[in-house]
Amino acid sequence: MNPGLRELFHRSTPPDVAPGQKITAEWRSPSNIAFIKYWGKRPGQLPLNPSLSMTLEKAVTTTRVTVVNEPLHPGIGSLNQQTGHPFLPKLQHLYALLMEEVPWISSWTLEVETQNSFPHSTGIASSASGISAFVLSLLSIMRSFAERPMTDASFYRAASWLSRLGSGSACRSVYGGFALWGATESVPGSSDTLAIPVDPYIHPDLKSLRDAILIVSSEPKSLASTQGHALMNAHPFAEGRMQQVDEHLKELMHAMKVADLDRMATLVENEALSLHALLMTSHPDGLLLKPASVEIIHLTREARKKGLPVFFTLDAGPNVHLLYPASHEEDVKQFIEHQLIELCSEKLVIYDRCGEGPVAVILPQA
Ligand code: DP6
């Protein structure tokens, strides 16, 4: 299901942007944390399995895109005025893909400024927020030139579709609340090429879920996500994983519909440990958990046994996300401050929560 960028942004003639004229858009877009993990991909940046995530509120990237009609130097020459910025090739690749769909942007020069709300060294996925913020800004500028009217729903679908090509998890960040990427019989309208919002299927109480991110190590990621996904290509447990993830998704959707936190805890924790089990049994293997990560997991489970509604998830790294309802915010903070903080690198904990999704800071004049 392609949202049809070609048709959506169709123009019979290129827009009239005067030489030297500047058009700016700026979006603030969040990171997200997966409850059901995307791990492994097929050609075309398609996922091996469906994934489900919660969009965060505070871990955001703010990106400003300025278009200048300067046909001598088309494309994106720099990011934050640096030609060697590590994120620049991803944006250039994405722009090249977009030009194939919408050729009238070919003469544009783009200036891009981007900033993360979280310290770069914390290992919080910046590609999801960074890619989606860039895409939303760029597409808003293009939308202001579109000849045909466009609904917001079509705009976000296009943004999700394009974000996916930059980074898989980024396609889920264009929606607030909870988002699903990947075709599954469990959810009507789900697709491998873009994410869809799933809040209508989820108990409204879960919109107040909290996420405390315990930074166990702030060293740069030891495994790039692209290399990580490739480990699934010849993985001995790939088939079993596909069955498992389908069951997990179906069950989790049900648990989230009725806000069954106990069941959610079991499923979300099992997903996180399955991701790491797959990593540990890959060739080459990836042992990304640190002793402190494991210690936090044990202490969290002990606390839950004693009645504290808190559970964990993990990305492909050592940091631990603790999830809990707003009603127990103070209790969980106490638990973290008394029992877990010493296990964190420089006692760093980022208190985040389920968020409302990306926000347009500057929109171009139509
Ligand atoms: C473990 O989206 O970072 O966080 O598509 O190569 O950019 P690319 O990968 P990326 O992978 C995220 C993997 C994960 C699980 C998840 O977010 O679903």
What pLDDT is recorded for position 366?
61
What pLDDT is recorded for position 365?
79
**358 has pLDDT over 90:** yes
> 315 CB under 6 A from ligand 1?
yes
> 38 CB under 6 A from ligand 1?
yes
Q: Which of 33, 38, 161 to mutate to test the pocket of ligand 1 (most atoms within 8 A of CB)?
A: 38
Please give the distance, rounded to the nearest whole angstrom, from the Cα atom of residue 97 to the centre of ligand 1: 20
Nearest to 132 by CA among 30, 39, 38, 229: 30
- 324-329 average pLDDT score: 98
Which atom of ligand 1 sits closest to the CA of residue 169?
2
> 167 CB under 6 A from ligand 1?
yes
Query: Which tokens hold the place of 317?
Result: 């790294």
> 127 CB under 6 A from ligand 1?
yes
> 286 CB under 6 A from ligand 1?
no
Please give the distance, rounded to the nearest whole angstrom, from the Cα atom of residue 331 to the centre of ligand 1: 31
Q: What is the pLDDT of residues 42-85, one digit of tens each?
A: 999 999 999 999 999 999 999 999 998 777 788 999 999 999 99
> 82 CB under 6 A from ligand 1?
no
> 32 CB under 6 A from ligand 1?
no
Q: What is the pLDDT of residues 285-318, one digit of tens each?
A: 999 999 999 999 999 999 999 999 999 999 999 9
> 225 CB under 6 A from ligand 1?
yes
CB distance 210 to 273 below 8 Å: no
Distance CA 107, CA 134 (A): 18
Higher pLDDT, 328 or 71: 328
> 51 CB under 6 A from ligand 1?
yes
Distance CA 234, CA 244 (A): 17
What pLDDT is recorded for position 122?
63
Q: What is the pLDDT of residues 172-186, one digit of tens each?
A: 999 999 999 999 999
> 226 CB under 6 A from ligand 1?
yes
Share of residues in the chain with pLDDT > 70 (%):
97
Which atom of ligand 1 sits closest to the CA of residue 32?
17
What pLDDT is recorded for position 1?
44
- 125-144 average pLDDT score: 94
Q: What is the pLDDT of residues 141-175, one digit of tens each?
A: 999 999 999 999 999 999 999 999 999 999 999 99
Which atom of ligand 1 sits closest to the CA of residue 37?
18
Q: How confident is the model at residue 193 (pLDDT cuts 50, 70, 90)?
A: very high
- 219-228 average pLDDT score: 83
**28 has pLDDT over 90:** yes
DSSP 73-139: S-EEEEETTBTT-TTHHHHHHHHHHHHHH-GGGTTEEEEEEEEESS-GGG---HHHHHHHHHHHHHH
b/e map 159-191, b = 16+ CB within 10 Å: bbbbbbbbbbbbbbbbbbbbbbbbbbebbeebb
Ligand 1, atom 8: closest residue by C-alpha: 167
- 196-209 average pLDDT score: 98
> 248 CB under 6 A from ligand 1?
no
Please give the distance, rounded to the nearest whole angstrom, from the Cα atom of residue 13 to the centre of ligand 1: 38
Instruction: Count CB neighbours of 225 within 10 A.
Output: 18
